[in-house]
Amino acid sequence: MTYTPHPARYQDMTYQRCGKSGLLLPAISLGLWHNFGSIDNFDNGRAIIRHAFDNGITHFDLANNYGPIPGSAEENFGRILKKDFSGHLRDEMIISTKAGYTMWPGPYGDHGSRKYLISSLDQSLQRMQLEYVDIFYSHRPDPATPIEETMGALHSIVQQGKALYVGLSNYTAEQTAVAVKVLRELGTPCLIHQPKYSMFVRWVEEGLLDVLEANGVGCIPFSPLAQGLLTNKYLQGIPDGSRASKGGFLKAQDITAEKLEKITRLNQLAVQRGQTLAQMALAWVLKDSRVTTVLIGASSTAQLDDNLVALRNRAFSQAELALIEEILA
């Protein structure tokens, strides 16, 4: 059946300026890290992407190694684009991808060399059947490659028309400051930074957010729900089929009694606010004006809807913020 986007898709979404650029991003963006690979149900992934777009989510975030198998999320996304978003609808979307982690064997399939980044993006464009991406990221810093080479490759990619903007991911505050300076001198300003940030992972508050603000760079935190810890999923133990039960990035041993107590208390506060724990956790990340958009994952359209409700109540009282700090301490 032919897909026709919902005519009121932009009505309820909030769009925020990305740093000092002209680009607006939706307050919630969709990441395709999980649930869109070759081992996942294609029709379910297609339904999630359609539903996201119908609700004003215009930004879709990928990386060369997303799957499994690596590359298959981009391939599936490309198939969905061709089926449902051809023609002018591409101009209503922000599509991003990254390179920096191991993608193919040998010395040229990893890290931050010019050879790897440009080759990887060429492969990503082929998998997604695109002429360009809107944002291309250096997925992680490479201590063995001069930062001038990595940033120079990002600059060249924009000059070649293969990306409209460039970004960084997983760079420390100090590394970010240097990279942003190099990019500015080259004439391709850094648009955005993608760090891990949640109530449980707060290193970005120790300098990175200040560097981004000072340089007019946007911020798009990933894992705002701490791989599902900041949901009600684990309040009664580890359910079958959950991420912790599969032993991936989130492991059963990560769910300690101390962490469960914090999750339980946070959930109680969320209920008092009229939210789920996931909704409150997303709102908490978005409360900082330096955060442009928050990157979520979704395994179903229902889960996506639950996350979108977070936008209805993003305000916190000083008493609520103080209680959250007390719980997390």
Q: Is residue 188 part of a domain?
A: yes
In a domain, 323, yes or no: no
Residue with tokens 């060369």: 64
Q: In 10 A of CB 33, how many CB atoms?
A: 18
With a CB cutoff of 8 Å and minimum separation 6, the contacts of 305 are 51, 55
What is the domain count for the chain? 1
pTM of the model: 0.94
pLDDT of residue 242: 55
Of the two residues 192 and 248, the one the predictor is more confident about is 192
Residue spans of alpha helices (H) in the chain: 42-54, 72-84, 114-128, 147-159, 173-186, 208-215, 243-246, 257-272, 277-286, 301-308, 318-328
pLDDT at 240 over 80: no
Query: Residue 62's domain is classified under what CATH number?
Result: 3.20.20.100
pLDDT in tens, 159-204: 999 999 999 999 999 999 999 999 999 999 999 999 999 999 999 9
User: What is the per-residue pLDDT across 200-220, written as a single tens digit (0 to 9) for each?
Assistant: 999 999 999 999 999 999 999
Residue 227 domain-assigned? yes
Residue 220 lies in a domain: yes
Chain centroid, CA 326 distance in Å: 28
How far apart are the C-alpha atoms of 193 and 291, rounded to whole Å?
10
Q: Please, what is the average pLDDT of the chain?
A: 95
Count CA atoms within 13 Å of residue 126 on its CB side.
Answer: 7
**If pLDDT is split at 50, 70 and 90, which confidence band does 271 have?**
very high
Find the range with the poorest average confidence among 95-99, 171-175, 197-201, 239-243.
239-243
Q: pLDDT by residue (tens digit) across 39-60?
A: 999 999 999 999 999 999 999 9
Residue 5 lies in a domain: no
The answer as to whether 85 is a domain residue is: yes
The answer to the question of residue 221 being in a domain is yes
196: containing domain: 15-234+280-316
Phi-psi region of 106 (alpha: psi -120 to 50; beta: other; left: phi over 0): left
Token reading at 226 = 């701490």
Q: What is the distance between the alpha carbons of residues 195 and 162, in angstroms, rounded to a whole number?
A: 23
Is the backbone peptide bond immediately before 68 cis, with ω within 30 degrees of 0? yes
Flag whether 94 is in a domain. yes
